[in-house]
């Protein structure tokens, strides 16, 4: 069934939109509307513009329902862009980490930010900012072999971390 094109814009208005637009996909969609206004068949339009005939029908439906703005290309991503976080939050967090002698995981850092600043910052963002600002490692803290000492390394493998801490 052929869907008629609603007369929301004149041929000249569409032509002007085509000229001033930088979005190539939207230009193709406007060209579809222009060719329909020139009475080309949908099959001819699809062959001429190298698009699927269903695309021609979809463009007409979208234009009829929501106007010219519905033909814009969706670039994806967050509507407002990436949030910009105040770096003072992370500077204060680093100061608090330096004051305390405890293990700080990313979730603990997120809780600290929520408690002190009432902000919910994604885990990946906290990791990225902490790594960038103060070279914090994302890896969890774990004991390392002591200065390449084979005996201490073997003791560690057999009996665990307690042996290492007793030999200091």
In a domain, 167, yes or no: yes
Both 111 and 148 in one domain: the answer is no
Choice among 82-96, 103-117, 125-139, 146-160 with the minimum mean pLDDT: 146-160
* Structural domain for 146, as ranges: 142-168
What does the pLDDT read at residue 120?
92
What does the pLDDT read at residue 31?
93
Both 106 and 125 in one domain: the answer is yes
**Residue 164 contacts by C-beta under 8 Å, 6 or more apart in sequence?**
143, 146, 152, 155, 156
In a domain, 37, yes or no: yes
Both 130 and 148 in one domain: the answer is no
* pTM exceeding the 0.85 threshold for the entire prediction: no
Both 63 and 45 in one domain: the answer is yes
What does the pLDDT read at residue 163?
41
pLDDT per residue as tens digits for the range 43-98: 999 999 999 999 999 999 998 998 888 888 877 777 777 788 888 999 899 888 88
Q: What whole-number distance in Å separates Cα of residue 23 and Cα of residue 21?
A: 6
* Tally of domains within the chain: 3
Strands, E assignment, 40-104: none
In a domain, 2, yes or no: no
Q: What whole-number distance in Å separates Cα of residue 112 and Cα of residue 120?
A: 10
């Amino acid at each position: 069934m052929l869907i008629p094109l609603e007369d929301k814009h004149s041929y000249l208005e569409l032509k002007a939109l085509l000229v001033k637009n930088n979005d190539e996909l939207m230009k193709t969609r406007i060209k579809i509307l222009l060719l329909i206004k020139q009475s080309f068949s949908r099959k001819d339009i699809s062959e001429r513009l190298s698009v699927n005939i269903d695309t021609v029908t979809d463009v007409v439906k979208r234009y009829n329902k929501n106007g010219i703005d519905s033909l814009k290309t969706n670039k994806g991503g967050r509507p407002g862009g990436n949030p910009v976080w105040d770096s003072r939050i992370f500077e204060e967090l680093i100061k608090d980490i330096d004051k305390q002698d405890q293990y700080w995981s990313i979730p603990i850092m997120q809780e600290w930010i929520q408690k002190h600043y009432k902000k919910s910052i994604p885990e990946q963002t906290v990791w990225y900012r902490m790594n960038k600002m103060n070279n914090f490692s994302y890896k969890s803290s774990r004991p390392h072999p002591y200065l390449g000492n084979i005996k201490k390394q073997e003791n560690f493998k057999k009996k665990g971390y307690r042996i290492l801490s007793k030999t200091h």
